[in-house]
Amino acid sequence: MELSFENPLFGIALTLISYFFVIKLRKNWNYNILNPVLVSVIIIISFLLIGDINFESYNKGGKILTYFLGPSVVAMGVFLYEKYSEIKNKIKLFLLCVTVGGAFGILSMILLLLLLNTPSILIESLAAKSVTTPIAIEITKLVGGIPEITAGMVIMVGVLGNVLGVQFLTGLGIYSEGAIGTALGTTSHGIGTARAFEYSKSAGVYSGLAMCFNGIITAFLTPYFLELFM
């Protein structure tokens, strides 16, 4: 039985079964807390702990699924092409919003943690919380933080945006698909973008583009902001 856990199919099967199980639950009980990513992570962690299974064994299949993140991001280019004329007319405002949002996301985290007298290693690990995991991890390595902490925080931020982002924005009276998509992509990266596509195709396109652009902004600004304030 132990050998079966070493098979990459184990990690793939556990991930897909957990995810589609939550999707089915969500169809029957449409509660925001039944977020597919959040609940799937809880199920997978619980299964590994109860079965005393090493994460490395599970991740042999997890790495295969992670590989498809790249093609999935590229696939969003199809939707971008469909909405190109609409985005082109608003590109200056869009870039301004993402730049301000990305910079504020970094600064707010750094200043809040400094206010709380947080150790510098944690500040360096959490500054790049709002971009997709691969970019955030590389930024953290560059500034001397702990990538494992960064990865956990990135997932938490993404799930929070996925669960509460649309409700928070509409509660403020924001109903523009472009604005909602831009906000989710800037603050909650890929997981937020998945929620944006659920809201509408247009919101998803704006979110995917915002996620990519904010990755660039954060990669450039984070080291300078850390040096400036620390």
Tokens of 3: 């050998």
Chain centre to alpha carbon of residue 54: 25
Which amino acid is residue 106, in one-letter code? I
Tell me the two tokens of residue 62.
């997890």
Taking the alpha carbons at both ends of the chain, their separation in whole angstroms is 51
Residue-wise pLDDT tens digits, 182-192: 999 999 988 88
Q: Could you tell me if 226 and 123 are in contact, meaning their C-beta atoms sit under 8 angstroms apart?
A: yes
Q: How many CA atoms lie within 13 A of 51 on its CB side?
A: 17
Asked whether the beta carbons of 106 and 222 are under 8 A apart, the reply is: yes
What tens digit of pLDDT does each residue of 90-147 get?
A: 888 999 999 999 999 999 999 999 999 999 999 999 999 988 888 888 899 999 999 8
Q: Is the pTM of this model over 0.85?
A: no
